[in-house]
């Protein structure tokens, strides 16, 4: 079994990954900005703020693999005067500094979690693969793409091998993103204006994503490779609303038709254009490469991840539902 250092270990995906790696018998280290409640058989290393000047020597000593999840993510109400510069500082410059420190520590594999957002907005249901052109349209997505390029340039002739994953929307217990917002809307029981939406979106549950992360961290064929990853079932927003609705008792998920153009305009008016784009647009991924090269198959069905997130959501609500 491997000794694996996880950055962003107390975040949504990181928390799931630490549990998964422990369950699989790996020796796990958490790189944390501030102390967190300890976990049995997990080493914690407090590294402070993660930037280009972070000192990694102690956390990396003896580590076989680094899984780099820490990132500046989407900000609903951006306060930075120059968002792209802020995203680059964390997602590009700090990532390169960690990769260089990993090389000095003789780490054997560096896993970087990128984003399917590098493909940009799409109105097509054609599935995109690792071979398709990218078109990042947000500062976050652009910084992830720049980090990918920086790591590839750095890796040439230096090592350790870098493996990159591009997940779509991730959901599960602990989520704070667009899936949770949609669950909240469905939970209220009011009709939603999505009956006229004709889109297709790939998604991935946290359980499936951490399984894929472990695969690319350990499989020899994943060295130096980039993979898109998904649950395996693409859904439209109306299908997703109905699926979420069946998880409530009584069943919810009623919808009425509304022109998508009007919904996009409403999203801009309330300052949530990206959220509305996620609900109305299409982004389908072709994950044949990771399945073929690594033999990876998602262990969980989408319904399982949704039930997990809905149960977690309801457990935190005083009324247990909405």
* Residues paired with residue 166 on neighbouring β-strands, in sequence order: 228
Q: DSSP 3-state helix, strand, coil percentages of the chain (rounded to 5)? A: 40, 15, 45
The predicted pLDDT at position 318 comes to: 42
The predicted pLDDT at position 156 comes to: 78
Instruction: Answer whether CATH 2.30.30.140 is correct for domain 3-174+203-231+284-300.
Output: no
Angular region, 18: left φ>0, alpha ψ -120 to 50, beta rest:
alpha
Euclidean distance between CA atoms 225 and 29, whole angstroms: 24
Measured in degrees and rounded to the nearest 5, phi and psi for residue 203 equal -140, 170
Estimate to the nearest angstrom the gap between the alpha carbon of 203 and the chain centroid. Answer: 10
Angular region, 8: left φ>0, alpha ψ -120 to 50, beta rest:
left
Catalytic, 140? Answer yes
CA distances from 52 to 88, 131, 218 (A): 11, 31, 27
Euclidean distance between CA atoms 16 and 1, whole angstroms: 19
Sign of CA dihedral 204, 130, 116, 265: negative
List, in order, residues 6 or more apart from 125 with CB less than 8 Å away.
Answer: 199, 200, 234, 282, 284
Q: Which of 119, 140, 227, 313 is catalytic?
A: 140
The predicted pLDDT at position 74 comes to: 64
Take residue 9 and report the two structure tokens written for it: 């270990």
The predicted pLDDT at position 235 comes to: 95
Mean pLDDT by 10 residues, the chain (322 residues): 96 97 97 93 94 95 97 67 87 96 95 96 82 93 96 81 96 94 94 95 97 98 97 95 92 94 92 86 95 98 94 75 52
Euclidean distance between CA atoms 195 and 279, whole angstroms: 12
* Residue ranges of domains in the chain: 3-174+203-231+284-300
The predicted pLDDT at position 173 comes to: 96
């Amino acid at each position: 079994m491997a000794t694996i250092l996880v950055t962003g270990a107390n975040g949504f995906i990181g928390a799931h990954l630490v549990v998964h790696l422990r369950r699989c018998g790996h020796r796990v280290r958490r790189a944390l900005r501030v102390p967190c409640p300890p976990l049995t058989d997990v080493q914690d290393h407090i590294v402070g703020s993660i930037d280009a000047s972070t000192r990694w020597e102690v956390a990396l000593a003896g580590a076989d693999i680094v899984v780099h999840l820490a990132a500046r993510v989407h900000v609903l109400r951006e306060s930075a005067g120059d968002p792209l510069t802020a995203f680059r500082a964390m997602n590009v410059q700090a990532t390169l500094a960690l990769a260089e420190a990993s090389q000095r520590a003789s780490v054997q594999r560096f896993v970087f979690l990128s984003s399917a957002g590098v493909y940009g907005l799409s109105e097509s249901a054609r599935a995109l693969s690792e071979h398709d052109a990218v078109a990042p349209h947000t500062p976050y997505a652009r910084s992830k793409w720049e980090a990918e390029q920086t790591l590839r340039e750095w890796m040439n002739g230096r090592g350790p091998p870098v493996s990159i994953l591009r997940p779509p929307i991730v959901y599960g217990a602990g989520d704070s993103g667009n899936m949770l917002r949609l669950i909240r809307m469905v939970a209220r029981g009011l009709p939603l204006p999505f009956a006229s939406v004709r889109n297709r979106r790939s998604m991935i549950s946290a359980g499936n994503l951490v399984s894929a992360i472990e695969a690319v961290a350990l499989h020899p064929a994943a060295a130096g490779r980039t993979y898109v990853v998904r649950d395996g079932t693409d859904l439209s927003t109306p299908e997703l609303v109905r699926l979420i609705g069946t998880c409530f008792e009584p069943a919810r998920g009623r919808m009425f038709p509304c022109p998508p153009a009007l919904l996009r305009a409403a999203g801009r008016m309330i300052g949530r254009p990206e959220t509305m784009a996620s609900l109305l647009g299409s982004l389908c991924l072709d994950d044949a490469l990771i399945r073929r090269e690594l033999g990876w198959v998602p262990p969980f069905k989408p319904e399982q991840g949704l039930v997990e997130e809905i149960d977690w959501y309801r457990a935190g609500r005083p009324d247990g539902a909405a």
